[in-house]
């Protein structure tokens, strides 16, 4: 249960940090609302920003307190459903706060008649475009990190006995994430910079620094992912305490937040230095319609399918304004819903064990199994199971079922309640699976079922 709480806390911190990064004044916008520098420091605007900060911290505090409800005994049987519900509630609360403050800023603009010109023609400085890519950190680093991400895979190929604890197919996750960060690097380096005035020298200086900061951010993100992957793989192979697996996740989230804070700070400083040095002192503020709808990027005129997030170093998102983007977004939602439904259904549905004259049938969500008398080699009762991993199944706070790989037993099918330290071990003839391990909701019920199994096998 502690792991569930830690996961929730990590999610809450990331959501809060992401929301708070949205109020940083960048590219003449706060919370997606266009404002000049003079209007951005207006007392009414600052009041809304401070209110937004307090609301974000309040949502974080409230969500954190609610996460400890998982420790209440009568909620524990529904821990999986409760965790998903709390995540959805936190997401909605953050969205509601952002949406409410956006509307407040728009009302202030309207009341004060802060009107900015709309510009439909894009200005491009060709001298800046020709210099693209010359100020960035070399891409050699992100490609090197990609190659190093294969270390766990090579280790598993050399040490085949370790694949019992860490399936080889899982080792592809690291390189996949790393190649995604290579893609992020090129996205951020090629990200267009704003044209500040009619002086090429100013625009070129801004573009060079902008490119440099983005490339450093992408490179550091790639390095953080590599270190996370190595630490995570090590913890999976050598640390028996499952809570220690959370440590690499904490490291990755902390690193990403630090990198994002650095990125935002450097970009703000760059914009202040460059715009503050303009000779005429005027601001080229242009009214732009927000391309972010309900937290998603929506721009039918942008032909890109994947675009950087509002917080650039946090990765990229899908442009749902394009048909392909809509399909990908819908597919992602369906996949998430399937996972949630399976998790909730698996957490609520109890195992059902049926015994007839010839076979025993164990009914569990998507992982049913049946075996006959002649398939059984032995039946025993134990109070402790060896360590192992889940290879294909469900592992919740209160129960686990499906395919597992356990030390000493090998390939097993488990149907166990986590808070009961009594297990019926049915050894089968063969190894696919070699064992079926199950129990009931109480130790007394488990012992009674064990007696029934013995009577049935002796008939």
Residues in the chain, pLDDT under 70: 1-3, 27, 74, 76-78, 80, 118-133, 163-165, 192-202, 237-245, 274-284, 286-296, 301-317, 324-325, 328, 331-332, 335-336, 338-340, 342-348, 396-397
Q: Is 149 helix (H, G, I), strand (E, B) or coil?
A: coil
Q: What is the pLDDT of residue 181?
A: 84
Number of C-beta neighbours around residue 392 at 10 A: 11
- C-alpha to C-alpha distance for 268 and 253, rounded to whole angstroms: 22
Q: What is the pLDDT of residue 194?
A: 62
Q: What is the pLDDT of residue 119?
A: 57
Q: What is the pLDDT of residue 57?
A: 94
Burial 376-388 (b: 16+ CB within 10 A, else e): beeeebeeebeeb
What are the extents of the domains in the chain? Answer: 1-117, 126-279, 352-458
Q: CA 207, 210, 216: angle at the middle one, nearest 5? A: 135
Q: Contact at 8 Å (CB) between 112 and 36?
A: no
Please say whether the dihedral angle defined by the alpha carbons of residues 30, 93, 243 and 231, taken in this order, is positive or negative: negative
pLDDT tens across 60-89, in order?
Answer: 999 999 888 888 876 766 676 777 788 889
* Residue 310 tokens, joined: 């509002």
Phi, psi of 88 (to 5 degrees): -65, -40
Q: Please tell me what DSSP assigns to residue 319.
A: B
- C-alpha to C-alpha distance for 254 and 127, rounded to whole angstroms: 39
52 HSE (CA, 13 A, CB side): 29
- C-alpha to C-alpha distance for 438 and 360, rounded to whole angstroms: 12
- C-alpha to C-alpha distance for 89 and 16, rounded to whole angstroms: 13
Q: Is 119 helix (H, G, I), strand (E, B) or coil?
A: coil
- C-alpha to C-alpha distance for 20 and 31, rounded to whole angstroms: 9
Does this model's pTM top 0.95? My answer is no
């Amino acid at each position: 249960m502690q792991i569930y709480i830690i996961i929730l806390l990590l999610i809450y911190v990331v959501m809060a940090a992401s929301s708070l990064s949205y109020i940083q004044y960048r590219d003449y916008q706060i919370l997606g609302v266009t404002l000049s520098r003079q209007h951005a420091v207006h007392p009414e605007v600052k009041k809304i920003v401070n209110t937004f900060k307090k609301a974000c911290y309040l949502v974080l505090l409230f969500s954190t307190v609610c996460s400890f409800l998982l420790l209440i005994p009568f909620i524990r049987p529904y821990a999986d459903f409760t965790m998903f519900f709390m995540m959805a509630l936190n997401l909605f609360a953050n969205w509601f706060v952002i949406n409410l403050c956006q509307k407040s800023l728009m009302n202030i603009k309207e009341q004060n008649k802060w009107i900015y010109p709309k510009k439909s023609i894009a200005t491009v400085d060709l001298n800046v475009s020709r210099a693209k890519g010359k100020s960035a950190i070399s891409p050699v680093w992100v490609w090197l990190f990609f190659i190093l991400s294969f270390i766990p895979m090579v280790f598993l190929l050399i040490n085949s006995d370790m694949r019992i604890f860490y399936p080889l197919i899982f080792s592809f996750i690291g390189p996949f994430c790393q190649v995604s960060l290579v893609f992020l690097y090129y996205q951020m380096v090629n990200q267009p910079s704003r044209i500040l005035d009619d002086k090429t020298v100013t625009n070129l200086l801004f573009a060079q620094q902008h490119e440099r900061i983005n490339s450093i951010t992408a490179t550091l993100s790639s390095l953080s992912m590599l270190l996370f992957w190595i630490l995570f793989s090590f913890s999976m192979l050598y640390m028996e305490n499952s809570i220690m697996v959370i440590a690499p996740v904490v490291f990755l989230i902390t690193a990403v937040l630090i990198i994002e804070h650095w990125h935002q700070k450097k970009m703000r400083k760059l914009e202040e230095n460059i715009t503050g040095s303009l000779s005429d002192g005027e601001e080229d503020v242009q009214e732009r319609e927000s391309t972010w709808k309900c937290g998603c990027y929506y721009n039918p005129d942008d032909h890109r399918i994947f675009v950087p997030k509002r917080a650039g170093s946090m990765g990229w998102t899908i442009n749902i304004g394009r048909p392909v983007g809509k399909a990908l977004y819908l597919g992602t939602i369906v996949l998430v819903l399937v996972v949630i439904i399976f998790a909730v259904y698996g957490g609520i549905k109890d195992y059902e064990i049926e015994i007839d004259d010839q076979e025993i049938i164990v009914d569990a969500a998507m992982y049913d199994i049946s075996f006959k008398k002649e398939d059984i080699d032995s039946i025993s009762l134990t109070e402790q199971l060896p360590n192992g991993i889940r290879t294909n199944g469900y592992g919740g706070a209160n129960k686990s079922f499906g395919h597992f790989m356990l030390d000493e037993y090998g390939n097993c099918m488990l149907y166990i309640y986590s808070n009961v330290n009594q297990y019926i071990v049915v050894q089968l003839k063969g190894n696919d699976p070699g064992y079926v391990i199950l129990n009931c909701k109480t130790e007394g019920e488990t012992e009674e079922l064990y007696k029934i199994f013995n009577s049935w096998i002796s008939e």
